[in-house]
Amino acid sequence: MAKTPASRVDKLLSSMGYGSRKEMARLAQAGGITLDGAPLVDVSARIPITPDLPSRLQIEGRALDPIAGMVILLNKPLGMSCSHKEIGPLVYDLLPPRWRRRDPGISTVGRLDKQTSGLLLLTDDGKLLHRIISPKHHVQKTYRATLARPLNGTEGALFASGQLMLEGEDKPLAPAHLDIITETEALISVTEGRYHQVRRMFAATGNHVEALHRQTLGGLALPDDLAPGAWRLLDDTEISLIFQ
């Protein structure tokens, strides 16, 4: 059986963004850290990192944040960017501010454009992130696209052909699937994550994407009850749906 990992309390809390080790020592001295309801004063003590730790360890009367290895499902609203390099609101602003200081850090699993909404995952699990975005795993992403002009009827075959070459690229796109909803609305499923891929695919057919919303990632769908800007953690069963 795998050995339960353990960590010094100050190191653990500081890696979760609660503050420096010194600040954690001070907080513990002031009675601000409890384990199973009793004050935990010695932050140099090692503690086993078990799944029930967030319900046992309280910081200033609140349950500990999720421990490393979390996957966040966010309904990305329009107008927020996934890249730290861009100015303006970031999807990270929707999470608790101390999560910005976590180590390992939280990253988006791939990116959605600022003007794309819908299903976005964030995680601090680098291995899982690479498994999801690696083209090797063919995780299918489905988007609802609203178009400026009516579909001309040739798009489905072109996208499925595996021969569509986007401008400035030297490798054709992998086959993608199109489901027409109305003459200006379609579901498009792709397994790659090239830059502005869906917008450029429709641009290659002489059309223009006016709105783009990601609905599914593998077998995981954006739940109807998750409002734009809202997020929640995924459990292991939901994470495994991504690869179905």
Chain residues that interact with ligand URA, rule: CB under 6 A:
112-113, 116, 196-199, 212
Measured from the CB of residue 195, what is the shortest distance to ligand URA in angstroms? 8
Say how far apart CA 62 and CA 144 lie, in whole Å: 39
> Residue 146 burial (CB < 10 Å; 0-12/13-18/19+)?
middle
Nearer to ligand URA, 102 or 199 (CB): 199
Helix (H, G, I), strand (E, B) or coil at 4: coil
Measured from the CB of residue 201, what is the shortest distance to ligand URA in angstroms? 8
Measured from the CB of residue 53, what is the shortest distance to ligand URA in angstroms? 36
Q: What is the DSSP letter of 87?
A: S
Nearer to ligand URA, 57 or 120 (CB): 120
H helix count then E strand count, the chain: 7, 15
- Catalytic (active site) residue 113: yes
Q: Which of 113, 179, 224, 225 is catalytic?
A: 113
Nearer to ligand URA, 70 or 204 (CB): 204
Q: Is the peptide bond before 104 cis (omega within 30 degrees of 0)?
A: yes
Active site residues: 113
